[in-house]
Amino acid sequence: MKATRSILVGLVSVAAALAAGHLVAGLVSPLASPFLAVGNTAIDLTPHPVKDFAVRTFGENDKLVLLAGMAVVLAALGVVAGLLSRRSPWPGTVLAGVLGVVGIAAVLARPTTTGWSVVAPIASLVVGVAAFRWLWARSPAEVPGRRKFLISTAAIAAGAGVAAVGGQLLAGRVDVEASRRGITLRPGQKAPEIPFGADFSREGTPTFLTPNSKFYRVDTALSVPRMRAEDWRLRVHGMVDNELVLTYDDLLRRPLVEKTITLVCVSNEVGGPYISTSNFIGVDLADLLREAGVKNGADQLATRSVDGWTCGTPVASIMAPGSNAMLALGMNGEPLPLERGFPVRMVVPGLYGYVSATKWLVDAELTTFDAFDPYWAQRGWGKKAPVKVMSRIDRPKAFERVPAGKFVVAGIAWAQHIGIDRVEVRVDGGPWQEATLATEVNVDTWRMWRIELDLAQGNHTVECRATDRTGLTQTSDRAAPVPDGATGWHSMVFTSVAGA
């Protein structure tokens, strides 16, 4: 067989296999799509530094990059299968079978796999092998059969396209958007207005509240879980006196409160971007646990999302008076956006997101730290991770050229749930000077700072360090984010120029 034809046979068969799996998954369970299951497994197996690299390099497109990379690898395998099968259909058949088995294994290994899900990767295997054999049999050794071959290939390729789109539409048929649109949240207790002067956004800091679309995003979900509020249930169980099963309406019947809270990710390098602030609307989590009755000795609340991610939070951090821990239903006045964990997520001020902020929450088990290791603890991250006092310079930007003379340096500082006492700044290793802090909103949020400096022409390095309300000053020791959060002083190199 000619090389071009054998390549075409391989490529079209791979496409048909993937599309068939996607279509059947759309019918039975979207996460059972073998393509997504392999991608999700890849995410779980990826060592954290690589994941960090991916997030740093591709930002919120990291998942798109992964899916595109997988498509390229699969296409390459299709090409190889085709080329190996120029004389006999067997090498390609075997390769198609092996890929099919990998898909089945990936789906079976997903924590979300239930009963019928496995038919999706089985469909992939069967269709992949069948398409390959059928096309191979129709690819002629010489030119005369060309037309028939091209028509067959085009037909399968078109079928694959229709199946893939169909699968996508079916997966989206659960109308979460409509469910979300139908919800209005009316907190009985509104968050206080953000006072004028709570940020220095005109001088380079973020705005105090982060618009929902700009809020940082970190999660392992390759496809955003789509669950309607009507279908949502939360089971509270384990070491409790009364097991609870709550619906979304049950939560709406409880007192809804609105609180301004800053969320931060442990993956931040010093100076990193994964920190944002929102007015979260939700119900008090400690009240809810008190209703369930936490048994003595239960020190960890293990929570799970609908896509199988797990998180462990110290019970003490939730139950402490004024913890402000909540099950959040909304952000900035609207129901949670889908990628923020709709219908319900957890928020516990003062703890990094990976030990506190479960999105798409469906299960809460009272247990102990000895008995259970959640997702990131299994991968070498700390089991307990209170937020470390930290500060960041937002202005000037690295290597910026700024006017010599008077110039305002500005940034943010945070020590959630403890509060910031002061921020100091020094230039070129000189004496520490105290920055002006913006109006405090509450201790669970970031605090903006600014300082006016008078700088001579030339290169400068500016550094900052924050001190929290307990008197703890940020250490200068540089530590990486693993295992429980980076430390060190943020610094910025820039140039003051005349007449800039």
Q: Using CB under 5 A, which of 314, 353, 374, 396 touches Mo ion?
A: 353
Q: How far is CA 397 from CA 196, 286, 359, 493, in A?
A: 25, 42, 33, 8
Nearer to ligand MTE, 323 or 358 (CB): 358
Residue 359 contact among Mo ion, ligand MTE, none, beta carbon within 5 to 8 Å by kind: ligand MTE
Nearer to Mo ion, 354 or 489 (CB): 354
In the bound complex, which residue of the shown chain has the CB atom lying closest to ligand MTE?
Answer: 353
Q: Are 397 and 387 in contact (CB under 8 A)?
A: no
Q: Can you tell me which residue has the tokens 């129901």?
A: 335
Q: Determine the size of the site formed for Mo ion (CB under 5 A).
A: 4
Write down the least CB distance from residue 35 to ligand MTE, Å: 20
Please tell me the distance from the alpha carbon of residue 242 to that of residue 192, in angstroms, as a whole number.
35
Residues that bind ligand MTE (CB under 6 A): 215-221, 263, 265, 305, 309, 340, 353-354, 357-360
Please tell me the distance from the alpha carbon of residue 147 to that of residue 145, in angstroms, as a whole number.
6
CA atoms within 13 A on the CB side of 372: 21
Residue 305 contact among ligand MTE, Mo ion, none, beta carbon within 5 to 8 Å by kind: ligand MTE
Write down the least CB distance from residue 349 to ligand MTE, Å: 13
Nearer to ligand MTE, 129 or 357 (CB): 357
β-bridge mates for residue 395, sequence order: 410
261 binds Mo ion (CB under 5 A): no
Provide the 8-state DSSP code for 340: G
Residue 223 contact among Mo ion, ligand MTE, none, beta carbon within 5 to 8 Å by kind: none
Write down the least CB distance from residue 266 to Mo ion, Å: 5
Nearer to ligand MTE, 117 or 277 (CB): 277
Q: Fill in the per-residue mask, 217 to 256: x = in contact with Mo ion (CB under 5 A), - = not in contact.
A: -x--------------------------------------
Residue 358 contact among Mo ion, ligand MTE, none, beta carbon within 5 to 8 Å by kind: ligand MTE
Dmax over CA atoms of the chain, in Å, equals 86
Nearer to Mo ion, 219 or 468 (CB): 219
Q: Can you tell me which residue has the tokens 């496409």?
A: 15
Stretch that binds Mo ion, among 145-153, 231-239, 258-266, 434-442 (CB under 5 A): 258-266
Residue 360 contact among ligand MTE, Mo ion, none, beta carbon within 5 to 8 Å by kind: ligand MTE
Q: Using CB under 5 A, which of 232, 342, 354, 414 touches Mo ion?
A: 354
Residue 215 contact among ligand MTE, Mo ion, none, beta carbon within 5 to 8 Å by kind: ligand MTE
Q: Fill in the per-residue mask, 192 to 221: x = in contact with Mo ion (CB under 5 A), - = not in contact.
A: --------------------------x---
Q: How far is CA 227 from CA 30, 231, 311, 346, 360, in A?
A: 11, 7, 19, 16, 8
Q: 360, 282, 343: which is closest to 318 by C-alpha?
A: 282
Residue 145 three-state SS: helix
The two structure tokens encoding residue 363: 């299960």
The per-residue b/e assignment along 210-244, b for 16 or more CB within 10 angstroms, e otherwise, is bebeebbbbbbbbbbbbbbbeebebebebbbeeeb
Nearer to ligand MTE, 82 or 353 (CB): 353
Write the Ramachandran bin of 17: left for phi over 0, alpha for psi from -120 to 50, otherwise beta: alpha
Residues that bind Mo ion (CB under 5 A): 218, 265, 353-354
